[in-house]
Structure 1
Amino acid sequence: MEYIRVTKENLEEEHICCAISNNKDVQVSSKKAWLADRFDEGLVFLKSVERGKCFIEYIPAEHAWNPIEAPGYMYIDCLWVSGSFKGHGYSSDLLSECIKDSKEKGKKGLCILAAAKKKPFLADPKFLKYKGFEVCDEADNGIQLWYLPFEKGAKKPMFKECAKHPHIDEEGYVLYYTNQCPFNAKYVPVLEETAKNNGIPFRAMKIESRNDAQNAPTPITTYSLFCDGKYITNEQMNDKKFLKLAQ
């Protein structure tokens, strides 16, 4: 497989490997706008030259949009290989390139979100364990921070206190989200309209800055749905899923 690095210079021309093929789709444009502001902070987006879901996205942990303490580490936003790309070793290829690049940049190691059992839009814990990652912290909702240190004795990354006990003091449904996930540009408005039409208390909280993301009440900032103060899920909802959940 041949890979290409997406940069500021080629961002507009490149397909960004999600499930949306139209570069002018609002979902793609919102994600690209988010990416464009991250490249100067050290974000790397490496993808297959072929269209499809085969890419890795990572950034120095100090600039990650997550409430973690991991100075000197590289944080993997997303490692996604699916569809016809699965089963060919491409995940290993992408991770190996991330490790090589991170070591060359003098990083202490890598960290990434997962859970004890595979959850949607999170890394596969079996794959992480196979690659030498270990759990270094866990929030009350079962979301785990995994790490792969490059040197013995490296200080373990950890969640900030605000994320260890995911809870908010607000009734009804509250969604925290960012433009990091392209699907949100389409599905957040769907939830807002569905909730309004069905009299369901709902509020969407778009995280607009790294500072807000690093102090969010949830380990997952791309999409975190709460109900009556309790964390529910990080799985993107369409109207049918949301109404079923709200019954």
Structure 2
Amino acid sequence: MDIVSVDASNINTEHICCAISDKKGETCVSSKKEWMKNQFKEGLVFKKFDARGKVFIEYIPAENAWCPIEAEGYIFINCFWVSGQFKGQGYANKLLDECLNDAKAQNKKGLVILSSAKKMPFLSDPKYLEYKGFKTCDTANPYYELLYLPFQENELKPKFKDCCKNASIEDKGMVLYYTNQCPYTDKYVPLIAEIAKTKGQTIKLNKVESKEQAQNAPAPFTAYSFFYNGKFVTNEIFSGNKFAKFLEEIEV
């Protein structure tokens, strides 16, 4: 398989690997692509293998990342996903090499990526990254780790901003921060809002719509961060069933 670069010239016709493939997901695909179109001018790169599946890498200069970090001179990997039938065939290594080569060609200091102490949904696998030489340079509650791969020794370590370190906000009740960086949010955010309404509950929805908002967000994973009574709950996108179960638990 060949590696395809998705950019402004072909985004309308290329499949976006992480997007929902059924007809009900067309709006979600569209929202993700619109987000990408706006980020191409900020240096966003999306590379995938020529296959209909989750086998891609997405990255951007860290100064333009939708993540509350300080990592000047680095490339930030937004999303790195190799799943299912594509695992164990060297595709992840080839995609990461594409990112490494781009970063070196731009004279960047290295790569930086959001992960966790153990593998969590929607976050990159820490074991694979450590195997590839990434090291932890900072942490944020409750489980986030910022990993980096510097190209030279003694480079300044990237770090989380203070705004996202404590996994807490002042607002009470259910609060969700989300973006269209992940196509799944356009499907599942309205779904859980409707479920909450049927249960006599409300969710405060904070859609992050700019780099500036994202870089000052209260949690590292700005694509989806759910809080309850001021405390961070999860970065995993709630399905209808999982959210209904969460409502049952808080009502006990």
Q: Please give the range of the TM-score, normalised by the shorter of the 2 chains.
A: over 0.9
Aligned structure 1 segments of 4 or more residues deviating by more than 6 angstroms: none
Greater CA drift, 165-174 or 117-126: 165-174
- Is 1:37 equivalent to 2:38 in the alignment? yes
Amino acid of the residue matched to residue 151 of structure 1? Answer: Q
Q: Is the 8 A contact 1:68 1:157 kept in 2?
A: yes
Partner residue, 1:8: 8
The equivalent residue for 2:53 is 52
Alignment of 1:12-31 (within 5 A): 12-21=12-21, 25-31=26-32
Residue 225 of structure 2 is matched in structure 1 by 224
CA deviation profile, 1:140-181 (whole Å, cap 9, x unmatched): 211110000011110000000101112111111101000000
Counterpart of 1:239?
240
Q: CA deviation at 1:197?
A: 0.6
Amino acid at match of 2:6: V
1:100-142 deviation line (CA, Å, top 9, x unaligned)? 1100011000000111110000000000100000000001211
Q: How does 1:120-135 map to 2 (within 5 A)?
A: 120-135=121-136
Q: What is aligned with 2:105?
A: 104
Where does structure 1 lack aligned partners over 5 or more consecutive residues? none
SS of 1:25's partner is: helix
Q: Corresponding residue for 1:113?
A: 114
> How high is the TM-score relative to the length of structure 2?
0.96
The superposition leaves residues 169-199 of structure 1 with CA deviations (integer Å, 9 ceiling, x where unpaired) of: 1111101000000000100000110011101
How many Å apart are 1:19 and its aligned residue?
4.6
Count of aligned residue pairs for this structure pair = 247
TM-score by length of 1: 0.98
Aligned residue identity for 1:11? I
Q: State the Cα distance separating 1:22 from its structure 2 match.
A: 5.4
Paired position in structure 2 for 1:69: 70
Distance 1:49 1:191 in 2: 34
Matched residue type, 2:226: L
Cα deviation code 1:71-100 (max 9, x no counterpart): 000000000010111111111110011001
**Cα deviations across residues 39-84 of structure 1 (Å, max 9, x unaligned)?**
1111100001111110000000000000000000000000001011
Q: Secondary structure at the match of 1:10?
A: coil
Mapped partners of 1:140, 1:86: distance in 2 = 30
Moved more, 71-80 or 198-207: 198-207
Distance 1:5 1:22, change over 3 A: farther
Equivalent residue number for residue 154 of structure 1: 155
Alpha-carbon contact 2:137-2:147 (below 8 Å) kept: yes
Distance 1:155 1:237 in 2: 37
1:243 partner letter: A
Tell me if the contact between 1:22 and 1:28 (Cα under 8 Å) persists in the aligned partners. Answer: no
Runs of 5+ consecutive residues of structure 2 not aligned to the other structure: none
CA distance in structure 2 between the partners assigned to 1:5 and 1:130 by the alignment: 26
TM-fit CA distance, 1:216 = 0.4
Mapped contact 1:224–1:233 kept (Cα < 8 A): yes
